[in-house]
Structures are given as C-alpha cells and as structure tokens.
Amino acid sequence: MRNSTKSILLVAACLVAAILLVGAGLLLGMNPQVRDVLRNVTPKGLSSWSSSGDGYELQQEVLYKLRNTYYEEIDPDSLENDAIDGMLAGLEDPYTIYLDPESYAVFLEDATGSYSGVGMVVEMKDGLVTIVSTFKDTPADRAGIRSGDVVLAVDGVSTNGQTLHEVVTRIKGKEGTSVVLEMYRPASTTATTVAGETAGDEEDVGKIGQTSSVADNSALPPGGETGEYTLARRTIAIPVTESTTLEAGGKEVAYIDFFTFSDGSADELRSEVRRAVEIDGVDAIILDLRSNGGGLLNEAVDVASIFISKGAIVSTEGAHSRQQVYEATGGAFTQVPLYVLTNEYTASASEIVSGALQDHGRAILVGETTFGKGLVQSIVELSNGGALKVTSAVYLTPEGRDINKTGITPDVQAPDDPDTELDEGVEAILDLITGASVTR
C-alpha cells in the first residue's frame, strides 16, 4: 500500500507540475512583465522553450514596452501598419504591398476602369516615381506631362520616402479639386535614332529596377529640368484602344494603340483587328504597346491568342504554386503581317504578349527594350478588410525566357524621340513594310 500511495502521489505531482508549466508558458507569451518574473523563478531552459513560439513574441513585447514607457501616447494601429510595411520592405520587392481597408477599397474602385484623378500611369523605377504613360485628353496629357517624367512632390509634400501607393493616393482625389505636382524631366537620351537588328484572386502581371519600395529622389539623373503643374482632378475613363489607318507604298496599314489589359480589353482589341482584316482588308497591322503598363494575366493570354493560333503563350511558377502553362485560346488572325511597338515602359502583361509573339515568330518587334517586369501579383484579402498585393510567381516566355529585370529586346531598334514631331518607331515599321532601309 505504501508503494502504491507513493506512485499515486508522484503522478499527481507530475500533473500539477505540467499544468504549472503550461500556465507559465501561456503567461510568458501573453505579458512581458509576467515573463520577466517567471524567468527568475522557473528552471533554466523553461524560458527559452516557452519563447520559441511562432517568432512574434519579441514584436509583442516591444509594443507592450512602448505603450507603457514611451513619453507620448502612441497609436497601436499605426504601429501595426508600420510593422507590416517594415516586414514587406524586407522582401526588397516594391510590388508586394499592404493595402489597408481604405486603400483596398480605392484599389477595387480603380479595377472598374474609371477613377477620379489626372490621367497618368506611374511606376517605381530605380527608386523614382516615374510616369509610364498619360491618357489622351486628360489633365496630365493636356499639361504636357509625358513618359519618363518623375514626380518629386504632391501638394508641396515630397515623395521622398513614400511608397508608390502613398503617392498615387495623394494624387487622386475628389473630382473638381486641384493637385499641384512638382515634376522632374530627365535630359533626353533619344535624340538620335539607331536602327538595326538585335534581339483573393485576380492575378495582375506587372521591371524591378530598384530594390527599395519607397521613393529616393537623390537618385535623380543629372541634367534635367524641374517644373510645377496645377491639375484639376476629374473622372478618368481608362481607354482600351485607339485606331487609325496609315498608308505605306500603296499598302494600307492598321495602326492600333492598345492602352491597358483591363477586364474585357482583349475582346475590344479582337473587334478592332477583325474590322481591320475582314472589313478594311488591311495589308499589315501595327500594335502599339509602348507605355502600356500591363494588367490582368488572362487578358494578356487572350490578346496574344488574337494573333497566335496554338501553343504556349506564357508559363508561371512560384515557390507556392505549381508551374502552369497558358495556351492559345484559338480564333487567331494569322495571315496578316504584324508589327509590335515597344519601349522602356512596355511592362508586365505587355511583355507577355511581346515575348509570345517574338518567340512564335509571329511579329517583328520594333522600338526599345521593354521594362522587365516578369512577375505575377495576386490579391490576398485580410480579416481587417484590407489586402496584400503579393508577388506570387514569375512568368516565362514560350521559349522559357525569364525577362524579369532584363526586358525583351526588340528585333529592330527604333526609339522614338519625344522632342520631334515624327514618330520614329512608326516610320521604321512603314519602312520595313515598303522594303526601305530603316537605318538612319
């Protein structure tokens, strides 16, 4: 009986000790002050065991200490947002960002194809908030703002240290209100033309030329000019296409400027191509993807499928997503010669289309090397009503080229000089169509 009693007491003591240890572990994770006390009374090794957790106890401890010792009142929500931004900044990927509930609502509004602003597309390039394009007849376009210009300040507040999303949010606003932009125009580098042959849930494909996710205006190239623009905001309806017919040596050429890969844009482009081929009977098509910043992945596949009858258009792969190959969807117009215009702001979905057409030998690319943004973003909604816009995969051209940070080199180099009335890229294509030399 004596040994049996000892055994029962030993088991009971072990259970009590286990309960105490579990309780201590919970307290250690919940309250840093309790943790400090318990560390002084628990055996060595318990504190290290209990602090292993999920790796976020230190952040909780810092927040607790700040709230109880900082000389001013602090806003925990603001600190939480800053902590999220700091975590994402560690990825050195300016395209993976946190959208708070208000910002996410604005993002969803933009996805409808209209917004209130000044009519320009911007990207973070080499640490600078850079204009990719402006939409025709918008306040930005009428003011003379153009691709390559850099936003230095919005309403007197420097963009330095701001994320791209923060800058864009300050530029947008209620229709009828005004915004003052301080802009920098780098010295022109395309004064001479050299031509020759070289080489959640919606997914957004969108050149990482920088590793910082915030603006750094000390990186401005020398020799440029600064100017100030006061623009009246208005509702901007984002256009999809703009078409005209050109003539080259007796041949009719359909020139189609394609602006964005938004929902339904491929259908609109297909209608333009069908009209040009079946009704107008053109001899060639020019598809202008210059300063097209991209958009939806499925639209890129559908746009390429207008000209490619079968085979791979693009493939994507990431650490948490299996490789997926997107094939042409059919119904292509394959007989009419195709020329594609590109420049350094041809990005993302535009590069998917350009790469597929080049790899399939379906088009001649003319212009400049593209932006180099071979990434796919996915929207992951969060419990607070916000979302993460996460780079979830890279994409490869049909021949397996990874163009991220390098871009796609056109078959014929023909950069357009913005300081001349002549469109050197279009002229180079017309020369190719008529058989004239494109060397200038």
Given 125, 373, 416, 431, the catalytic residue: 373
Q: The tokens of 252 are what?
A: 């009719």
Given 213, 243, 348, 350, the catalytic residue: 348
Q: Are residues 260 and 401 in the same domain?
A: yes
Q: Are residues 221 and 271 in the same domain?
A: no
Q: Output the pLDDT for position 110.
A: 64
How big, in percent rounded to 5, are the helix, strand and coil portions of the chain?
30, 25, 40
Q: Are residues 361 and 404 in the same domain?
A: yes
Query: Which residues pair with residue 235 across a beta bridge?
Result: 116
Phi, psi of 158, rounded to the nearest 5 degrees: -60, 145
Q: Are residues 43 and 169 in the same domain?
A: no
**Prediction pTM value:** 0.72
Q: Are residues 371 and 386 in the same domain?
A: yes
328 in a domain, yes or no? yes
Q: Output the pLDDT for position 204.
A: 44
Given 359, 411, 423, 431, the catalytic residue: 359
Name the amino acid, one letter, at 62. V
51 in a domain, yes or no? yes
359 carries an active-site annotation: yes
Give the number of other CB atoms < 10 A from CB of residue 342. Answer: 31
246 in a domain, yes or no? yes
Q: Which domain holds residue 129?
A: 97-192+211-236
Provide the 3-class DSSP secondary structure of residue 333. coil
DSSP output for 126-183: TTEEEEEEE-TTSHHHHHT--TT-EEEEETTEE-TT-BHHHHHHHH---TT-EEEEEE
Q: Output the pLDDT for position 94.
A: 80
Give the number of other CB atoms < 10 A from CB of residue 61. Answer: 17
Any idea what the Cα angle at residue 381 is, between residues 377 and 173, rounded to 5°?
80
Closest listed residue to residue 216, CA positions, set 89, 145, 132, 124: 124
Q: Are residues 20 and 158 in the same domain?
A: no
Q: Are residues 297 and 366 in the same domain?
A: yes
216 carries an active-site annotation: no
6 in a domain, yes or no? yes
Closest listed residue to residue 352, CA positions, set 413, 412, 393: 393
Closest listed residue to residue 272, CA positions, set 299, 243, 245: 243
Q: Are residues 257 and 122 in the same domain?
A: no
Query: Which residues pair with residue 396 across a beta bridge?
Result: 315
Give the number of other CB atoms < 10 A from CB of residue 304. Answer: 28
Query: Which residues pair with residue 377 across a beta bridge?
Result: 204, 391
In the 8-state DSSP scheme, what is residue 341?
Answer: E
Q: Output the pLDDT for position 102.
A: 84
Q: Are residues 223 and 273 in the same domain?
A: no
199 in a domain, yes or no? no
Q: What is the 3-class SS of 329-385, one letter each residue?
A: CCCCCCCCCEEEEECCCCCCHHHHHHHHHHHCCCEEEEECCCCCCCEEEEEEECCCC
What domain count does the chain have? 3
Q: Are residues 128 and 153 in the same domain?
A: yes
d(CA 254, CA 333): 14
- Beta strands 241-248; 251-258: pairing state: antiparallel
Q: Are residues 121 and 158 in the same domain?
A: yes
Q: Are residues 367 and 247 in the same domain?
A: yes
Q: Output the pLDDT for position 387.
A: 94
Q: The tokens of 169 are what?
A: 């949010």
CB 372 within 8 A of CB 406: yes
CATH number at residue 342: 3.90.226.10
Q: Output the pLDDT for position 187.
A: 87
CB 246 within 8 A of CB 430: yes
89 in a domain, yes or no? no
Q: Output the pLDDT for position 154.
A: 97
CB 374 within 8 A of CB 403: yes
DSSP output for 53-120: TTS-HHHHHHHHHHHHH-SS---HHHHHHHHHHHHHHTTT-TT-EEE-HHHHHHHHHHTTTEEEE-SE
Any idea what the Cα angle at residue 409 is, between residues 128 and 261, rounded to 5°?
65
d(CA 116, CA 172): 6
Q: The tokens of 18 are what?
A: 């286990």
CATH number at residue 115: 2.30.42.10
265 carries an active-site annotation: no
Choose one of 236, 270, 290: the last residue of a domain: 236
Any idea what the Cα angle at residue 23 is, between residues 18 and 27, rounded to 5°?
150
The one-digit pLDDT tens for each residue of the chain (440 residues) are 445 444 444 444 444 444 443 343 433 333 444 344 333 333 333 333 334 445 578 888 888 888 889 998 888 888 888 888 888 888 888 888 898 888 888 777 666 667 889 999 888 888 899 998 888 899 999 999 998 999 999 999 999 988 888 898 899 999 999 999 999 999 874 422 222 222 233 344 433 333 356 888 988 999 999 999 999 999 988 889 999 999 999 999 999 999 989 889 999 999 999 999 999 999 999 999 999 988 899 999 999 999 999 999 999 999 888 899 999 999 999 999 999 999 999 999 999 999 999 999 999 999 999 999 999 888 999 999 999 999 999 999 999 999 999 999 999 999 998 888 899 999 999 999 998 655 44
11 in a domain, yes or no? yes
CB 428 within 8 A of CB 366: yes
Choose one of 14, 43, 74: the last residue of a domain: 74
Name the amino acid, one letter, at 397. T
88 in a domain, yes or no? no
